Structure 1
Amino acid sequence: MQDLVIGIVIVSYGHGEDILELVKKLKKQTSSNDEIVIIDNHPGKDTYNIFKKSDIANCYTSENLGFGHACNLGVKKLNNKPDTLLFINPDASPRDDLLSAIRNVDFEKYAAVMPTIILPDGRVNTSGNVLHTSGLSWCGNLYGKPIDKPVMQETYSLSGACFAISKDWWKKLGGMDSSYFMYYEDTDLSTRISLLGGKQAVLNNVYVEHDYDFTKGKHKWLYIERNHPLYMIKTWPLSVLILLSLQNLILFVGLWFISIVQGRLLVKMKATIISIKALPSFLRARRSTQKSRVISSAEFINLLDPTINNKALSGVFNSKATNTFFIVNYKLSKVILNIFSN
């Protein structure tokens, strides 16, 4: 659909010069009706100052209320009434065919799509994120080789680094959940698409380079630790939570131990406190999320992957014993759900 109108949203926290280069690359691909909006969350307003006299993109400043809030604000600032929304990180660098590939997607069939995200050396950053039975999510096929074939591969977890979503689906979902502040917004959005019966896919031979760094500072760990259980509580069917509760209780105890070993105990404790404080609002969100769900618990568990094959992890998490434990528990849970769903 070559006349598809695309609204592009870039959320930044500084990175002004990087965004200028990104916008220049995107402008080579845009049509006259496409629009680029930048939301700068940085109090220094360096990105805003770069673009305030420019006519290639509209830049707005915002109080830093998080990634999801900025994405929602960016969509509201679009004036071009887009058919599709594209979200892309400031440290991403698209190839010349990104927008044309998005225009060719059948958004009657797919709610959202993402390109293959690659590292500067050409290896895969993510070809669709993995959604594990523990509720953890990580980059799929990390450090692997891209699939250089013009096929669309189904995924259940988009990467927030770059993805496109139908404007109709965005409205249906109510945008991103800004309650997360940072991390898990993309996982939450993808899961809610699946809960409503929507399909998502990876454009295998469409590439966006991402300056990705796995290492995480204390601030990032704080929100990953906070949001991990809240995401599960909000979006997962109760029967799935119950059936996977034993493995995940063991996992949560293990994560406390790891936080001690890695010197993150205080961060873990603070994350737990703010997670508990946020719990009432996520329980309220859960009621509406589960009420609108159209897939069964048996269908939902098929979205999850019990295996751990993450090259960025090491030790006990990637061990054969751990994988066997998760796989056996997953298969048993599937059998039980299939029995009671029939």
Structure 2
Amino acid sequence: MTVNVPKVSVLVLGYNSLRYLPECLRSVPEAVGGSSYEILFLNNGTDASEALVRSEFPDVRVLASQGNIGFAAGVNLLATGARGEWLLNLNPDTVLEPRSIASLLTFAEGRPEFGAVGGLNVDADGEALSITHARLPSLQSILRRSLGIERRVTDYAHAGAASYTQVETLCGGFFLMRRDLWQNLGGFDESFFLYCEEFDLFKRLQMRGCKAALVRESRVFHDVGSGSPLSPDRIFYQVVASAHYAHKHFGKAEAGLAIAVIWISAIGRYLYAALQSWRGGRYPAMRRAFAKAAFEPASWMLGFNSPGADPRKPASREPTFRP
């Protein structure tokens, strides 16, 4: 692992990810196969992750925490310090299967027309997760997602599927890109605090005439949302980021319609969960998760330019709704 120019730099950005990090980091050596590599880690949170990595994983290069600078800015900072020919972005709430990175490297080096490659994100049962890839956001896809009819990717996990599939986007928590291409693209757009930054990156990749591929034999277990898929913060930032993307990439009228659909969807999900809350289960959490998006539209409709939506900016007002 002590080489001047490693083949791949594995970038791990944590956010209070202490309980996930050991298993994630231990899975890297078998995942890269015989290729040279380095691992870089940055903690955007406030837990003891940095101390744990320094103590138990001395070969990992730990960057000093800058506070919660956002996902895009955190990954960009890691990429700036990377020396590898390739960059592999990896969420800490993942566990790589053996040779999962090696498979991506082999494919990418043999198919240079693909600017980015990624593998299947799977759950504990080995079933492919819908976050593995997605279409680039559009008014139509936002409408489909709001109706719960966006296409899943489970068929790609079956043995009869093609070895790879050309896709529009890949999961931002597990994809490989050549470092010089990343630099030419300017990395992630740091105006995105959290979520949708990968959609923006792949939109710009597509605009350059490059393609992305999903390599089926590469697999990673991904505990989506770090075990809290209905966290109010997670849902809120997804809504804010969707609005931010719409303002950046859609025309004015299309962005307005997309934001209206997002709002109506949030209200519908809140009301549905509220009506079902008596049943317990996931419904009370779902009601809390969508409350702010449903009842405080001013907090997200301008994307990360909305008052208080970006924690890196001073908020002009405090939220008024409490579910």
**Category of TM-score, reference length = shorter chain:** 0.7 to 0.9
Distance in 2 (CA, whole Å) between partners of 1:100 and 1:180 is 30
Distance in 2 (CA, whole Å) between partners of 1:271 and 1:222 is 11
Pick aligned residue for 2:175 from 163, 166, 171: 163
Task: Work out whether residues 151 and 204 of structure 1, in 8 Å CA contact, stay in contact via their aligned partners in 2.
Answer: yes
Q: CA deviation at 1:69?
A: 1.0
2:233 paired residue number? 219
2:278 paired residue number? none
Task: Work out whether residues 93 and 223 of structure 2, in 8 Å CA contact, stay in contact via their aligned partners in 1.
Answer: yes
Q: CA deviation at 1:247?
A: 6.1
Distance in 2 (CA, whole Å) between partners of 1:166 and 1:273 is 37
Kindly indicate whether residue 5 of structure 2 is the aligned counterpart of residue 39 of structure 1: no
Q: CA deviation at 1:35?
A: 0.7
- Amino acid aligned to 1:133: S
Structure 1 segment 219-298 matched on structure 2, within 5 A: 219-236=233-250, 238=251, 248=258, 251-252=261-262, 254-255=264-265, 257-258=267-268, 260-261=270-271, 262=273, 263=287, 264-270=290-296, 272-276=298-302, 278-279=304-305
Distance in 2 (CA, whole Å) between partners of 1:265 and 1:10 is 31
Q: CA deviation at 1:268?
A: 4.0
Determine helix, strand or coil for the equivalent of 2:125. coil
Task: Work out whether residues 21 and 93 of structure 2, in 8 Å CA contact, stay in contact via their aligned partners in 1.
Answer: yes
Distance in 1 (CA, whole Å) between partners of 2:61 and 2:105 is 22
Determine helix, strand or coil for the equivalent of 2:169. coil
2:104 paired residue number? 102
Distance in 2 (CA, whole Å) between partners of 1:21 and 1:249 is 39
Determine helix, strand or coil for the equivalent of 2:233. helix
How far does the alpha carbon of each residue in 1:174-205 deviate from its partner, in whole angstroms, 9 at most, with x for none?
A: 11112221111111111111122110010012
Q: CA deviation at 1:14?
A: 2.1
Change (3 A) 1:198 1:277: closer
Q: CA deviation at 1:65?
A: 1.3
Kindly indicate whether residue 192 of structure 2 is the aligned counterpart of residue 199 of structure 1: no
Distance in 2 (CA, whole Å) between partners of 1:36 and 1:9 is 6
- Amino acid aligned to 1:204: R
Q: CA deviation at 1:9?
A: 0.3
Q: CA deviation at 1:248?
A: 3.7
Change (3 A) 1:76 1:40: same
Change (3 A) 1:51 1:183: same
Distance in 2 (CA, whole Å) between partners of 1:111 and 1:11 is 22
Question: Bigger shift: 155-164 or 52-61?
Answer: 52-61
Determine helix, strand or coil for the equivalent of 1:39. strand
Structure 1 segment 18-97 matched on structure 2, within 5 A: 18-30=20-32, 31=34, 33-44=36-47, 46-53=48-55, 54-60=57-63, 61-78=65-82, 81-97=83-99
Unaligned runs of 5+ in 2: 274-286, 307-323
Q: CA deviation at 1:15?
A: 2.1
CA RMSD, 1 decimal: 2.9
Q: CA deviation at 1:145?
A: 6.1
How far does the alpha carbon of each residue in 1:230-260 deviate from its partner, in whole angstroms, 9 at most, with x for none?
A: 2022124x4xx65x57964762452353265
Task: Work out whether residues 95 and 206 of structure 1, in 8 Å CA contact, stay in contact via their aligned partners in 2.
Answer: yes
Pick aligned residue for 1:118 from 116, 122, 128: 122
Distance in 2 (CA, whole Å) between partners of 1:19 and 1:273 is 33
Question: Bigger shift: 31-40 or 87-96?
Answer: 31-40
Q: CA deviation at 1:64?
A: 0.5
Q: CA deviation at 1:4?
A: 7.6
Distance in 2 (CA, whole Å) between partners of 1:19 and 1:185 is 23
- Amino acid aligned to 2:85: D
Task: Work out whether residues 245 and 303 of structure 2, in 8 Å CA contact, stay in contact via their aligned partners in 1.
Answer: no
Size of the aligned set, in residue pairs, is 271
Distance in 2 (CA, whole Å) between partners of 1:182 and 1:255 is 20
Pick aligned residue for 1:141 from 140, 145, 152: 152
Distance in 2 (CA, whole Å) between partners of 1:23 and 1:279 is 35
Unaligned runs of 5+ in 1: 281-342
How far does the alpha carbon of each residue in 1:39-65 deviate from its partner, in whole angstroms, 9 at most, with x for none?
A: 111112x11111223323122323101
- Amino acid aligned to 1:129: A
- Amino acid aligned to 2:210: G
Change (3 A) 1:32 1:252: closer
Determine helix, strand or coil for the equivalent of 2:24. helix
Instruction: Give the alignment's TM-score, normalised by structure 1.
Output: 0.70
Task: Work out whether residues 119 and 220 of structure 2, in 8 Å CA contact, stay in contact via their aligned partners in 1.
Answer: yes
